Amino acid sequence: MSEASTDRADRPAEVSDPLLWGLAAAVADAHQPDDERVCVSPSCVGAAWPCAAWNSAQEGLRAARAPLPAPSPTGWSSDLVPAAPVEAAARPAGDEQLAVTSAA
């Protein structure tokens, strides 16, 4: 690994998302520069380094260090729980169906 790579065994203690950290580190390791500062990954096909994938991996490594939101007392995110109960929509009596007509 070059000095630009990220050793996954040396994950910082402040990492809050180990899965994201590991995936981003793997991408960063796969997109290293050669002696001419060209990305060695076959998916980059000669792109100058740092390539877009390596830059995205760095964003992932930064995001993996971001603090996680505090859990709610119920264990549910407040945006997933409706503020009031949702009532069932009224249905017509019987097996009636609405006819769809087009204006021609």
Q: Is the pLDDT of residue 80 over 60?
A: no
19 in Cβ contact with 70 (< 8 Å): no
- On whether residue 49 sits in a domain, the answer given is yes
- On whether residue 55 sits in a domain, the answer given is yes
Band of residue 67 on the pLDDT scale cut at 50, 70, 90: confident
- On whether residue 38 sits in a domain, the answer given is yes
Count the neighbouring beta carbons within 10 Å of the beta carbon of residue 103. Answer: 3
Domain residue limits at 37: 33-65
6 in Cβ contact with 61 (< 8 Å): yes
Whether the full predicted model's pTM is greater than 0.85, yes or no, is: no
Contacts of 35 (CB under 8 A, 6+ apart): none
Band of residue 26 on the pLDDT scale cut at 50, 70, 90: very high
- On whether residue 7 sits in a domain, the answer given is no
- DSSP at 41: -
- On whether residue 53 sits in a domain, the answer given is yes
Structure token pair of residue 101: 């007509």
68 in Cβ contact with 17 (< 8 Å): yes
Domains held by the chain: number? 1
